[in-house]
Chain A
Amino acid sequence: MRLPCLALLLSVWAALGHAFEIEESRSYPAPGTAALRILSTADADVFEPIIEAFQSIYPISITYDVASSTQVMKALYDEGAQYDLAISSAMDLQTKLANDGLARQYTSDATGALPPWAKWRDQVFAFTQEPAVLVLNAAAFETLDIPKNREGLITLLRDHPEVFDTRIGTYDVRISGLGYLFATQDSRNTESFWRLTEVMGRLNTRLYCCSGAMIDAVARGDLALAYNVLGSYARARLADTPGIVVVEMDDFVSVMLRTALIPQTAQSPQAAGLLIDFLAGMRSRPDLAAETGLPPVVGNDAEDEGIIRPIRLGPGLLVFLDRLRRDTFLRSWASSIEQD
């Protein structure tokens, strides 16, 4: 995250006539006649190297609009906005778009080479796998053991309220789609999740919209730890941010797959297909992975390792999008995290 997330909310770029909010819009003209409109949740700065590398192969003009995952959903699901490619970290919303018939099918050699868990219905294609991690402030942990798993974290928080009170950060799952995805997967995978949320609530946990803001707060020392931070962003910040530690839990790690799909409204699906092929082949471009901090999808190993679980694409993701289920979950979560 090169730009603070909150600053982007000043979205003067929102095109007139659109009810959904665009945070930022960039144009990358190219000599070719083809044009590609991308709606993405990834920061323009993060994605720019990929667009430039793509344009060095295909002379296709690209418009890159950034919006939150809820706004992406609103644009495509409710308003039928015309985009050729939708890139989102919200796997559940991408899955719903495909399930409800708003995505086009696309097959190629490149998508055929993707592992089976990295695509769904030949409509949703994963091109990164980004784990949820714990980010610690090194100074705060000088005398403390670094927790290895959630049980350890709960014990640590209980034993040292003086260190952690008001110094824990996590996603506000009510406003962050990614935070909601990580939280619901946690609730599915471990019994500890609700106890952890209770403990964090008692310690007056601060809630954030974005991973970048949490990492900044940890780096400044405002927070001693941040839970469920997007690992790719955290690792990308390690080099230029002294004093932070990234921890992957050893009980299990939820892995978010950043996905792309071609909406039914696409005007140039062929160009979108080319970009999907390019994204699917990212593992052969370690330079881009390093520059963007987006770890590409690698072979099948990730699935076998057990503790590292790519969140499974498919109808299961629709469950937590269910209105009642979401209400119930958010009510439980809110009552746990806000105990005042």
Chain B
Amino acid sequence: MSTAVAQVSIRRRLVVQLALVAALLSVVFFFALQVVADRATEATQDNILAASATSIADAVYTDAGIVRVEIPYSALSMLGTVSEDRVFYHVILDGQTLTGYDDLPVPAARGAGRDPRFGTYLYRGDTVRAVVVRRALNVADRIHRVEVVVAQTRLGLAAISSRITTTATAIGVVFFLAATALSALAAQNALSPLSRLAEAVRRRGPRDLRPVTAETPSELTPLVGGLNGFIARLRAALTRSEDLIVEAAHRVRTPLATVRTQAEMVHLQMEKPENRAALRQMIRAVDESSRSAGQLLDHAMVTLRSDQLETEEIDPADLLRDAVDRLSPTADLKDIAIVLDLPQAPMRVQGDAILLQNAVRNILDNAIKYSPADTEITVRLLSGPSCRLVVCDQGRGFMPEDIAHMPERFSRGSNVEDVVGSGLGLTIVRDVAEAHGGTLEIGPNPEGSGACVSLVLPCS
């Protein structure tokens, strides 16, 4: 299984994008609040200014034909109630200063009629907000125009604005943090079916090729569908190739048997020793081919049965005895003695009898094949936390550098090129061991030359 090219986390992308959206919204919120608050505070100041200017305009009166004004105390004191801003006023009669700060300009704001008009400008080193209120007075049939300008610095406004900025910043930050935390939770929650599906697929055994049936969100249905299709194709391909091997092995074995029978008959009729030797070699080659075909069949069978084990209680001693009985004739041909060393007490393992027999036979077969003539093979059964079925020979043993690769398919020791073999024997044993939750152990024979091969199975 190869990993994906780039480690792109959907969750991280989701969280980052949601956080970006939250940040954007926070900033928008911040500015919106600022603008609204600034407008509101400015409107408040404008209202007070307009009230002040209006009350001064109302206090304009005529005394013996002379226009005068008596600034009401509240007109200016009301401006001092909200903030400690500087206050300026200017009362203008027909363009001439009547009283107040005579250099205070009239705000040049647009507006209609008698409505107060506002403006902002620099006066005596400070930015001021100013209002002008106009009034007409009729004195002795002459119309007099009075303009009242009231201006105030914006210190209080700036203080309120900075308080609002602080609050808006705090709210924006809290909003952002909360939104980010919530989006992390939401992403986690939204992606949990994906994690469950991944976990379901990850938990499968190496040979589990059943379709995925875990609950899937609709967005993942195409992926799971694709995956199941892929599994089905893989399964079909595997089955086809196993079938092919079985078929091929069968087809090879039958003609080989015929060839062997014919060769033996010819061998009996041969007179010349060199011809007989040639025929013996031929027979041995046929035997090997037949054996390889058998092992291919065995391997296919093991692969097939491993998926669906038919387990029962088995005494491993029976397995060993049975295998030794079967292979004794072959051993006798090479004058090899098989010593069976079994414990008195019966032992039990849970396993598929056919597979286990196959495995034990392969081990013993290997031992006989690679043992020189007139040697001894020891077959032991050791108990303990697990059952060890050990076969030790006095052959040439394994090269240390080969041991790790031995159970791989078609892998053969570097010191056995003169002996014909398929390289499947130990692969079958390992597959059987693993299907039963056990292991295959290969090592040198502690009692001299040769090797020991152990099939370790969990005891029941």
Residues of A within 8 A of B (CB): 98-101, 120-121, 188, 312, 314-316, 318-320, 322-325, 328
Q: Are A324 and B98 in contact (CB under 8 A)?
A: yes
- With a cutoff of 8 Å between Cβ atoms, the chain B residues found around residue A320 in the complex are 73
Q: Which of B63-71, B209-217, B290-298 touches A?
A: B63-71
The 23 listed contacts between A and B (C-beta, < 8 Å) are A99-B87, A100-B86, A101-B124, A101-B126, A121-B84, A314-B77, A315-B76, A315-B86, A316-B73, A316-B76, A319-B71, A319-B75, A319-B76, A320-B73, A322-B71, A322-B99, A322-B100, A324-B68, A324-B69, A324-B71, A325-B69, A325-B99, A328-B70
Q: Are B73 and A319 in contact (CB under 8 A)?
A: yes
- With a cutoff of 8 Å between Cβ atoms, the chain B residues found around residue A188 in the complex are 73
- With a cutoff of 8 Å between Cβ atoms, the chain B residues found around residue A328 in the complex are 68, 70
Greatest chain A CB density within 10 A among B75, B86, B98 is at B86
Instruction: Give 1 or 0 for each of B121-158: 1 = CB within 8 Å of chain A CB.
Output: 00011100000000000000000000000000001000
Greatest chain B CB density within 10 A among A120, A322, A328 is at A322
- With a cutoff of 8 Å between Cβ atoms, the chain B residues found around residue A315 in the complex are 76-77, 79-80, 86-87
Whether B343 is near chain A, meaning CB under 8 Å from some CB there, is no
- With a cutoff of 8 Å between Cβ atoms, the chain B residues found around residue A101 in the complex are 86, 124-126
Whether B72 is near chain A, meaning CB under 8 Å from some CB there, is yes
Question: CB-nearest residue of chain A relative to B81?
Answer: A314
Greatest chain B CB density within 10 A among A101, A314, A323, A328 is at A314
Question: CB-nearest residue of chain B relative to A318?
Answer: B76
Candidates A100, A120, A312; contact of B124 at CB < 8 Å: A100
- With a cutoff of 8 Å between Cβ atoms, the chain A residues found around residue B155 in the complex are 121
The CA-CA distance from A99 to B126 in the complex, in Å, is 11
- With a cutoff of 8 Å between Cβ atoms, the chain A residues found around residue B100 in the complex are 322
Q: Are A319 and B98 in contact (CB under 8 A)?
A: no
Q: Are B71 and A325 in contact (CB under 8 A)?
A: yes
Q: State the Cβ distance, B212 to closest chain A Cβ, in Å.
A: 73
3 cross-chain pairs, A with B, having the tightest CB-CB distances, nearest first? A316-B77, A314-B80, A315-B87
Q: Are A324 and B80 in contact (CB under 8 A)?
A: no
- With a cutoff of 8 Å between Cβ atoms, the chain B residues found around residue A319 in the complex are 71-73, 75-77
Query: Which residues of B from 16 to 42 have beta carbons under 8 Å from A?
Result: none
- With a cutoff of 8 Å between Cβ atoms, the chain B residues found around residue A316 in the complex are 73-74, 76-77, 80
- With a cutoff of 8 Å between Cβ atoms, the chain A residues found around residue B79 in the complex are 315
Residues of B within 8 A of A (CB): 68-77, 79-80, 84, 86-88, 98-100, 124-126, 155
- With a cutoff of 8 Å between Cβ atoms, the chain A residues found around residue B77 in the complex are 312, 314-316, 319
Q: State the Cβ distance, A276 to closest chain B Cβ, in Å.
A: 17
Q: State the Cβ distance, A78 to closest chain B Cβ, in Å.
A: 15
The CA-CA distance from A120 to B156 in the complex, in Å, is 13
- With a cutoff of 8 Å between Cβ atoms, the chain A residues found around residue B80 in the complex are 312, 314-316
Q: Are A324 and B99 in contact (CB under 8 A)?
A: yes
Q: State the Cβ distance, A137 to closest chain B Cβ, in Å.
A: 34
Q: State the Cβ distance, A282 to closest chain B Cβ, in Å.
A: 23
Given contacts A100-B124, A101-B124, A315-B87, contact A323 B99 (CB under 8 A): yes
Question: CB-nearest residue of chain B relative to A122?
Answer: B84
- With a cutoff of 8 Å between Cβ atoms, the chain A residues found around residue B98 in the complex are 324
The CA-CA distance from A323 to B102 in the complex, in Å, is 12
Known pairs A101-B124, A121-B86. 5 more at Cβ < 8 A?
Answer: A101-B86, A319-B71, A320-B73, A322-B99, A328-B70
- With a cutoff of 8 Å between Cβ atoms, the chain A residues found around residue B87 in the complex are 99, 315, 318
The CA-CA distance from A322 to B101 in the complex, in Å, is 10
Q: State the Cβ distance, A119 to closest chain B Cβ, in Å.
A: 9
The CA-CA distance from A316 to B55 in the complex, in Å, is 14
Q: Are A314 and B69 in contact (CB under 8 A)?
A: no
Q: Are A120 and B76 in contact (CB under 8 A)?
A: no
Question: CB-nearest residue of chain B relative to A329?
Answer: B70
- With a cutoff of 8 Å between Cβ atoms, the chain A residues found around residue B99 in the complex are 322-325
- With a cutoff of 8 Å between Cβ atoms, the chain B residues found around residue A318 in the complex are 76, 87
Given contacts A100-B124, A316-B77, A324-B99, contact A120 B72 (CB under 8 A): no
Q: State the Cβ distance, B391 to closest chain A Cβ, in Å.
A: 96
- With a cutoff of 8 Å between Cβ atoms, the chain A residues found around residue B126 in the complex are 101
Q: Are B70 and A314 in contact (CB under 8 A)?
A: no
Question: CB-nearest residue of chain B relative to A326?
Answer: B99
The CA-CA distance from A101 to B125 in the complex, in Å, is 8
Q: State the Cβ distance, B124 to closest chain A Cβ, in Å.
A: 5
Greatest chain B CB density within 10 A among A100, A312, A319, A328 is at A319
Greatest chain B CB density within 10 A among A100, A314, A315, A324 is at A315
The CA-CA distance from A190 to B74 in the complex, in Å, is 15
Given contacts A315-B77, A315-B79, contact A325 B84 (CB under 8 A): no
- With a cutoff of 8 Å between Cβ atoms, the chain B residues found around residue A98 in the complex are 86
Q: Are B70 and A325 in contact (CB under 8 A)?
A: yes
Q: State the Cβ distance, B13 to closest chain A Cβ, in Å.
A: 51
- With a cutoff of 8 Å between Cβ atoms, the chain B residues found around residue A325 in the complex are 69-71, 99
- With a cutoff of 8 Å between Cβ atoms, the chain A residues found around residue B70 in the complex are 324-325, 328
The CA-CA distance from A323 to B68 in the complex, in Å, is 11
Q: State the Cβ distance, B420 to closest chain A Cβ, in Å.
A: 104
Question: CB-nearest residue of chain A relative to B125?
Answer: A101
Q: State the Cβ distance, A247 to closest chain B Cβ, in Å.
A: 27
Question: CB-nearest residue of chain B relative to A327?
Answer: B68
Q: State the Cβ distance, B211 to closest chain A Cβ, in Å.
A: 78
The CA-CA distance from A315 to B76 in the complex, in Å, is 5
Q: State the Cβ distance, B203 to closest chain A Cβ, in Å.
A: 70
The CA-CA distance from A315 to B155 in the complex, in Å, is 14
Q: State the Cβ distance, A57 to closest chain B Cβ, in Å.
A: 30
The CA-CA distance from A188 to B72 in the complex, in Å, is 10
Q: State the Cβ distance, A259 to closest chain B Cβ, in Å.
A: 14
Q: State the Cβ distance, B64 to closest chain A Cβ, in Å.
A: 12
